[in-house]
Amino acid sequence: MKTSWIMRGPVAAVVLMAVLSNCSINPATGQRQVSLIGEGREIQMGREADPDIIASMGLYPDTEVQQYVSQLGKRLAAASERPHLPWTFRVVDDPAVNAFAVPGGFIYVTRGLLSHLT
């Protein structure tokens, strides 16, 4: 007896409905894509990760630099595909030349990267 892996009938309809219900429009491309988490959960994930990142790396102690990076980042974010996110920009006290982000609009720039910029 040959087993077919192609879904048919009601099972296929249920799977198709589940996939389509998790589709959203990618604001960068305008195309539909499968979204495994919602925007609210994405923001929550970032808010949960932020204290751990700060605890492990520390914030760069210069408030003027923090404000400058935050203001610049928020101006850029306002022109992005997702201007409504609660964008947060921080300078972490790490000598590596790096920047990274976590879900929900939390962006981190290292002091090492800033030392390479003019």
Indicate the pTM of the whole model. 0.74
Please give the residue that has the higher pLDDT: either 111 or 18: 111
Return the minimum-mean-pLDDT range out of 8-22, 36-50, 69-83, 101-115: 8-22
Could you give phi then psi for residue 74, rounded to 5 degrees? -70, -35
Amino acid in the structure at residue 41: R
Are the C-beta atoms of residues 103 and 69 closer than 8 Å to each other? no
Tell me how many degrees the CA angle 13-17-18 measures, rounded to the nearest 5.
Answer: 120
| β-strand pairing of 88-92 with 106-110 | parallel
The mean pLDDT value for 27-47 works out to 84
Are the C-beta atoms of residues 99 and 107 closer than 8 Å to each other? yes
| pLDDT, tens digit, 9 for 90 and up, residues 75-117 | 999 999 999 999 999 999 999 999 999 999 999 999 999 999 8
pLDDT at 34: 74
The mean pLDDT value for 30-57 works out to 91
